[in-house]
Every structure is written in structure tokens, then in C-alpha cells.
Chains A and B, each alone.
Chain A
Amino acid sequence: MERYDVIVIGAGFGGPVAAKKCADAGLHTLIVEKSQIPGDKVISGTYIPATAFMMGPSWIREGNPPLERAAYGVKIHFVKGAEIYLSLRMTLPSPVAYGAYCRPMCTWLAEQAVKAGAELRTSTTAADVIKERDWVKGIVTDEGEELRSEVVIDSEGLINLLAIKAGIRRKYIPEAIELCIEYDFAMANADIEEIFENHIEFHFAMPEEKLIAPLGQGSVVYLFPYRNSLHTCIGQFLKHEGKVADTSKLLDTYYQTYFNTRRWKEVIGPKTKLRAKMWDTCPLYVGLFPEMHEMPRCGNGIILIGDAAGFEDTSTGAGIPNAWFSADLAADVAIEAIKAGDTSAAFLHRYDERWQAHPAILPSITDWGRRNLLKAQQDESLMVKLAWEQWFAPIASFVPTLTQIRPEDLAALLPKV
């Protein structure tokens, strides 16, 4: 039977970051990943906020990760009928976020962990935990192989089957879970530059337009431009006030409405070629519901990170920054625990103290910026105000920090694209 110091579940965004730190510290570290290639099954968007690189491990920003492009700002459009009737724009002198495809990013992150000495087993599902009384002592793979560990760092994502089997989490409620359809389109770089001008875009509308889910009950229309391609995303929460959403009908309706807007039909759409249609769930409101927010994030022999720990940003839906921050903290605690010979929940509890003290994690998972939109269903001007608050206010609050950093120092905190 194989024995490891640390077994990391998942080679998504958080897992490899934790694994690299453990391996760098000399721990015998294994990552188990259910896909054939890390990132195969990760459908995420995605634009990674600049703060993830500035506050995350330096090796990520310095290591030349496979990023697509930098966004210097955000445009918010308000739609009525087929027309955009109002647009707001916020632009900063340095990038606010970086677009990336999940598969190359996760593959790159996993490679860094392997270079540091972690073992990576792909096509290997962690099907169960090994529990001795109340203590997680390792995992059992889907092939029935037992792999022992001192600490499991669980980065399995929002479908946290293992954490449930370990007895420290329950299934999230459908009111906190959103289902999103994402399209990928090929699009020439020159067209992207001209149309998007290095901005990501969000489209809001009143509920009767059927462009998006009722306000606060889903993701508005996202346009995320990459180097030679574009992602669009629309989402709807699975349940609201006792009613399960007919997502299989609604999401297609919203997309139909969006693709009938004049700007898509005449300006963007003709320059795109559809390459992929995908969907996935995301645990957007987990942090806002006390019964889920207050669930433990560690147990005897196990620590949860990223979406598995309920660390998705409750307003923007960003998961990657907190995945990286929590991975870093979890690795530190695992290293200390193994050195001290104490992997009890009582020892590992210092992880909770640290993530709660982290400047970004707790504020982001208790942010009501999106959920406040529930109040605007019949109030168009409130919708505009809250949309501003949701997307522009956090960026605006970033500006004083930016202006205090010398340009050359700022460049050192950001990745190159």
C-alpha cells in the first residue's frame, strides 16, 4: 500500500498550488485527478482577477502561465428589446483581469507541481476516503486501490463527494448553485481588439426582456474575449423561493434573446464561428447561506480548499483567486502539522484562523453585490445602480492601492501576457 505525506484531490486550479508547496517543502506528495488531462472537465469562463496574481504565489505570475489576454476594464450594457440603450465603462491603466482557458492553465499548474516533485496520477478518481474512527487516513481510488496519507488536501470542487464521505460537509442547497451555459466561438484577433478594446462585458436587462434570469437569480450575459476566440456565458440558479428553474428551457431562451440583439447580429456574431457548447454548475451563493458558510473546512487528517471549501466569490463568481490563496494556506498548515506529528482537526484548525484573516477570502465569500439585485426586479434605475455596485465599485476600490505602487513594482506583481 502506498503511503504519502499529502494526497491532493484534484488537479484543477487549487490542487496543484497546494501540491507544489508541499513538494517544495520535501513532503511526499500525490495529486489524484479524475480526468485524463488536468482541466479536461473544467468549464469556468474564465477571467482571473489581477488580485489572484498580485496576492497569490509569485511563481504563478513569474512563471509565464498560458494566459490569453489582459482586460483593462469592464463594460456594462443595459438591454431593452434588441438594443443596448445604456453602456457604462470603467477602464484602468493596468489589467484588472486575465483571460485564460482552463485546460492549458490547469495543465501548466500541474506541471509546476510535478517539477517540484509531486506525483500526478491522472484518470484516477478518488472514490472514497479511508476513515479510521473519525480520522481521514487516505483515499480509495475507483480501482479500489488504497492510498494512505497524513493529510488529504481536498480540492475536488463544488461537487464535494469526498468531503461528504469524510463527514465534514453536506451537499450544497440548489438555491446556492447556478447552472451556466457557455459557448466558445473562434474570432479573429483584429476583430476582438476592435470590438472589445481590452474589456470584458456584462449585459443586464429587466426580467421581462428574457435576456437573463430574474435579477440576482443568475449570471447576466458575459462576453469574455480571448486572443482568437470568445466565450459567452449565461446562468440561472437551480432554485429560488421554492421553485426549481426549468433551466433546460430558460437558458436557451435567454441565449436566443441575446443572439437576436442588434449588436450581436450585426457586429459581433458575423465575425464568430461556434466551436463549443458546454455547461456546468457553480456554487455562487454558498457563502451567503449560514448553514453552508458555517460548515467545517477541516477535519482530522483533511483540509478543504477552493470551491470544495465554499470559497467562490458570491458576487463575481470568481473561484480561482481564493483557490490559490487557500491552497497556499492549506499547504502551510499541512507542512506544519506533519512536522509536529499532529494532523488532528484541532491542529489543522489554524487553517481556519488564517483564511479568515486573509484580506481577500472572507470579504469575497460574504459579498452581497449580486444577491442585492433581487431587489431590483421592478426597478430599472436600481438595477443600474446595483450593477455599478457589483462590478465597478470593487474595481474602483482597487485604484488607491494601484496608485500607491510604483509602475515598475506593479509590473513585477502581474503576469506577462
Chain B
Amino acid sequence: MAEKVILGVEWIPGTGDFIKVVEESCNGCGDCVRVCLAKCFGLRRKKAYVKSLDNCFECAACWFVCLEDAIDFSWPNGGTGFRTEFG
């Protein structure tokens, strides 16, 4: 289970599944796992999958790094997801 609290940041629920792995495009390289600081991704049966978006900072590092365009990145629903006053 992802750590729900990171200091100074809160997550507003209701995001929806705003990051998805497009399985048919994924080649299991693990680059998304490598770059994600929130540990949102895992690998199983040679495909990436989203474990949890609980601590996602919507930085899109996963989206940028995937050359197969297998990361379907969109924004969480308006007004949801992470926020901080310390940025």
C-alpha cells in the first residue's frame, strides 16, 4: 500500500484513474518504474501496471520517458489530486 502521507502535501480524492498503462503498447522495459518517485508503477507478467496513484505528483515523468506511448496520461478531475502551499 502506498504511503498515503508525504510531508506538506495533501491529496484530494475523486481523481479517477488519470494515468493508465496501454497494455498492448507496453514492452515491459520498466522505465516508468525507474523514474516514478511516488512508486506508482509495478511490473507483472512483463507489463507495467499502475499500483496506486495515491502519491502521484502529476509530474508526468512516466509519460515523458515511455517511448512506446504506453502511458496514457491525463489530468485528474478538476480540483482533485495533489496540492501544496509550499511549492
Contacts and interface: CB of A to CB of B under 8 A. Distances in A.
Given A142-B78, A281-B59, A276 B37 contact: no
A101 interface: yes
Interface string B48-87: 0000000001111101110001000111111101111111
A274 B7 contact: yes
Contacts of B7: 274-277
Given A159-B73, A177-B64, A248-B35, A279 B57 contact: yes
A172 B63 CA distance: 10
A250 to B, nearest CB: 10
A279 B37 contact: yes
A174 B64 contact: yes
Given A161-B73, A248-B34, A41 B9 contact: no
Interface of A: 34-37, 39-44, 101-103, 122-125, 127, 141-143, 159, 161, 171-174, 177, 179, 181-182, 184, 238-239, 244-248, 251, 274-281
A239 B12 CA distance: 31
Contact of A125 (B73, B78, B86): B78
Contacts of A35: 79, 83
Contacts of B77: 125, 142
19 contacts: A35-B83, A36-B79, A43-B84, A43-B87, A122-B78, A159-B63, A181-B37, A238-B64, A239-B65, A244-B34, A244-B35, A245-B35, A248-B37, A248-B39, A275-B7, A278-B6, A278-B86, A280-B87, A281-B61
Interface of B: 6-9, 12, 31, 33-37, 39, 57-61, 63-65, 69, 73-79, 81-87
A275 B37 contact: no
A143 B16 CA distance: 13
Contact of B58 (A41, A102, A275): A41
Contacts of B31: 244
Given A123-B78, A127-B75, A238-B65, A281 B12 contact: no
Max count, chain B CB within 10 A of own CB: residue among A123, A125, A173: A125
A278 B36 CA distance: 13
Contacts of A102: 87
Contact of A276 (B39, B58, B84): B84
Contacts of B75: 34, 125, 127, 142, 161
Nearest to B39: A248
A247 B34 contact: yes
B78 to A, nearest CB: 4
Contacts of A42: 87
A124 B83 contact: no
B87 A44 contact: yes
A280 B34 contact: no
A188 to B, nearest CB: 17
B83 A36 contact: yes
A180 to B, nearest CB: 9
B82 to A, nearest CB: 7
A349 B58 CA distance: 32
A245 B12 contact: no
Nearest to A180: B59
B8 A278 contact: yes
A247 B73 CA distance: 19
